């Protein structure tokens, strides 16, 4: 290798634009490659491989969450391009890379296919290695999620959370509906569509754990002379069988009788009591089930009722990705 190779500023700038590497790194690579542009790219890539190997055990818990939807709103993807620090995650070039990768991801069915896809003359996986060398931090695709439907909408919250949601049909003002529901998903962190999706065994074990936690809290509250928390019998509508609801109604009637309320006004009071019972005993649904959550723009209605207000349309699927 000759050490007297001269490289021009134009050549250095061309390599910098192609790789995003610093001016000095590009100059050194061109000198090492004796002016051969393609070999210089390979030099930078090998540097990236060395840096990536050294940082393989690092956490890439910062970065950018990106959501993209195709031109006819039938396919949406949400990805997380991870890095090690918040400083890099906010960098304009890093965000531009994340958005370019998001656009490419629209054409891929799986994360594996995405990593193997061509990106500016190399695979996505190789591009991540190259940029690891450029930036000096581990880069990785920490999440890849895809939704296909008659209509797909998306929402991104300050590059930290991204959501895509699919609908069964296209109705009037579907853009507003899609944005509102995607925002709901991003904000409230639903993990499933409906309580009907829950495994009964999961609900049973979660019920036991939650009741135990509340009872433990109540021991401390009682010691401090404070108001005790309500201990629910149930946590999901999956458990509210006709028998359970009938028993709850009987208990409510017994309360009204004990309070001395005239029977002729029970019909006016019971619906409210039953609604409160259902609310108190479906906390898991409200936390994790999108359709059963209170709508963030109007907590008097559920997401299910809000979607129904738009007509003959249903949520067919959704995905949410976050940093970390």
Q: Residue 83 pairs with which residues in a beta bridge?
A: 62
Query: What is this structure's pTM?
Result: 0.78
Residue 20 has what pLDDT? 67
Mean per-residue pLDDT for 190-213? 94
Helices (H), the chain: 9-19, 23-32, 37-54, 86-89, 92-105, 111-116, 124-135, 174-188, 200-223, 242-258, 266-280, 283-288, 303-308
Q: In the chain, what are the domains? A: 9-54 (1.10.8.10), 62-188 (3.30.479.20), 196-308 (no CATH)
Tokens of 123: 């695979």
The yes-or-no verdict on residue 2 having pLDDT over 50 is no
Tens digit of each residue's pLDDT (9 = 90 or more) over 251-274: 999 999 999 999 999 999 999 999
Asked whether residue 53 carries a pLDDT value surpassing 80, the answer given is no
Count Cα atoms within 13 angstroms, Cβ side, for 19. 35
* Model confidence pLDDT, tens digit, residues 122-169: 899 999 988 888 778 889 999 999 999 999 999 999 999 999 999 999
Looking at residue 15, its pLDDT comes to 79
pLDDT surpasses 60 at 313: yes
């Amino acid at each position: 290798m000759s050490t007297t190779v001269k490289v021009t500023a134009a050549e250095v700038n061309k390599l910098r634009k192609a790789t995003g590497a610093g001016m000095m790194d590009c100059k050194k690579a061109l000198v090492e490659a004796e002016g051969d542009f393609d070999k210089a790219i390979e030099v930078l890539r090998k540097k990236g491989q060395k840096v990536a190997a050294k940082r393989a055990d690092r956490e890439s818990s910062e970065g950018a969450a990106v959501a993209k939807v195709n031109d006819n709103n039938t396919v949406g993807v949400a990805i997380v391009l991870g890095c090690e620090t918040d400083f890099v995650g906010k960098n304009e070039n890093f965000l531009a890379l994340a958005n370019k990768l998001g656009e490419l991801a629209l054409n891929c069915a799986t994360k594996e296919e995405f990593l193997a896809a061509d990106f500016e003359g190399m695979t996505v996986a190789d591009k991540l290695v190259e940029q690891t060398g450029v930036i000096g931090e581990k880069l990785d695709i920490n999440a890849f999620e895809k939704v296909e439907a008659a209509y797909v909408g998306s929402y991104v919250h300050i590059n930290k959370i991204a959501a895509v949601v699919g609908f069964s049909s296209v109705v009037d003002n579907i853009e507003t509906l899609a944005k509102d529901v995607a925002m709901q998903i991003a904000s409230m962190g639903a993990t499933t569509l409906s309580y009907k999706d829950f495994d009964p065994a999961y609900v049973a074990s979660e019920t036991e754990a939650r009741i135990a936690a509340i009872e433990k809290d109540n021991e401390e509250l009682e010691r401090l002379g404070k108001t005790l928390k309500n201990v629910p019998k149930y946590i999901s509508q999956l458990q509210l069988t006709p028998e359970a609801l009938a028993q709850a109604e009987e208990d409510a009637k017994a309360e009204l009788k004990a309070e001395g309320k005239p029977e002729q006004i029970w019909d006016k009071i019971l619906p409210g009591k039953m609604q409160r019972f259902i609310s108190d005993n479906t906390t898991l649904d409200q936390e994790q089930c999108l359709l059963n959550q209170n709508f963030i723009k109007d907590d008097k209605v559920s997401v299910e009722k809000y979607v129904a207000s738009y007509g003959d349309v249903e949520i067919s699927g959704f995905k949410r990705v976050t940093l970390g």
